[in-house]
Amino acid sequence: MKIFPREEDRFEALKVEYQQEKSLTTLTAFGFIFLALFLVLALVSIYTLFGMTPSASKSSAQAKYPLPCVENSASAVPASSISVRVLNGSNMPGFGTAVGDSLTNRGFLVRSVETYTTSNDTQIRFGQNAIVQAYTLAGHFTNATLILDDREDGLIDVIIGRSFSELQDRYLVMTTDTTSPLASPEKCLSVLDIKKQPAIKHDATLVPAYGSTDETSDLTGQTASGAQ
């Protein structure tokens, strides 16, 4: 574990890490291949036996927010069909852009990166028409709180909080397989039984609500200039 004398140093180190993520050279070729094959075999066994459980959250704040159940037979969707707005609540300039660039590199459509009020926890906020998309995105985070809000469109907000530590390692993300079904989280509720939180103000016409077969891969996602 790295120890930094100042929190600012930790964020600066993380920012550099995500800016360099495009170059996957930290593992040797043979080591990576061996590890990838091992994980593929293990994950195939898990998917076959149990289905694919959404990586809902390891956040301590999640208990405050009920998780919606996944429709039967629903599977993860391609990252290229998921529109995301990154809100930097870490109070560290440039950190939201660094994480946004990393998500873009993983295939997500990052619509904009904006400054947000300081937040302690990292949150993924979504509406009832983007549940599968939100669970797919959540698989790339290690400590995010998922919050169902009252938006009707398909845009998903990611708030980068001060507790943010890292994105999930690519080869450990369990929601990249779009052929295996997603299993509902434990103790999930129907969306009808969940009190939806107020959505953060945004342009609700930017991303239409997702249908059962709809994708937004034909839309061009770009990070806003001057992002935080």
Give the per-residue SS3 of 196-208: CECCCCCCCCCCC
Confidence tier at 45 by pLDDT (50, 70, 90): very low
Q: Report d(CA 118, CA 126) in Å as an integer.
A: 19
63: pLDDT strictly greater than 60: yes
Domain count, the chain: 1
Confidence (pLDDT) at 53 = 56
Least Cα distance to 139 among 38, 219, 52 occurs for: 52
Confidence (pLDDT) at 10 = 65
User: Which residues constitute the domain of residue 68?
Assistant: 7-193
Confidence tier at 133 by pLDDT (50, 70, 90): very high
Average pLDDT over the chain, rounded to an integer: 79
Note the pTM of the prediction, 2 decimals. Answer: 0.74
Q: Residue-wise over 121-160: b if at least 16 C-beta within 10 A, else e?
A: bbbbbbbbbbbbbbbbbbbbbbbbbbbbbebebbbbbbbb
36 found inside a domain: yes
DSSP state of 162: T
209 found inside a domain: no
1 found inside a domain: no
Confidence (pLDDT) at 159 = 98
119 found inside a domain: yes
77: pLDDT strictly greater than 90: yes
Residue with the bigger pLDDT between 121 and 60: it is 121
94 found inside a domain: yes
Least Cα distance to 180 among 62, 40, 63 occurs for: 40
Confidence (pLDDT) at 76 = 95
Confidence (pLDDT) at 2 = 55
33 found inside a domain: yes
144: pLDDT strictly greater than 60: yes
**If DSSP codes are grouped into helix, strand and coil, which group holds residue 141?**
strand
Confidence tier at 135 by pLDDT (50, 70, 90): very high
**If DSSP codes are grouped into helix, strand and coil, which group holds residue 132?**
helix
165 found inside a domain: yes
H or E stretch including 109? strand 109-115
Confidence (pLDDT) at 220 = 33
Q: Return the minimum-mean-pLDDT range out of 14-23, 102-111, 115-124, 190-199.
A: 14-23
Q: 152-190 pLDDT, tens per residue?
A: 999 999 999 998 988 999 999 999 999 988 989 999 999
29 found inside a domain: yes
Percent of the chain whose predicted confidence (pLDDT) is above 70: 68
The arithmetic mean of pLDDT across residues 57-61, rounded, is: 73
Confidence (pLDDT) at 21 = 55
Residue 157, beta-bridge partner list:
85, 125
31: pLDDT strictly greater than 70: no
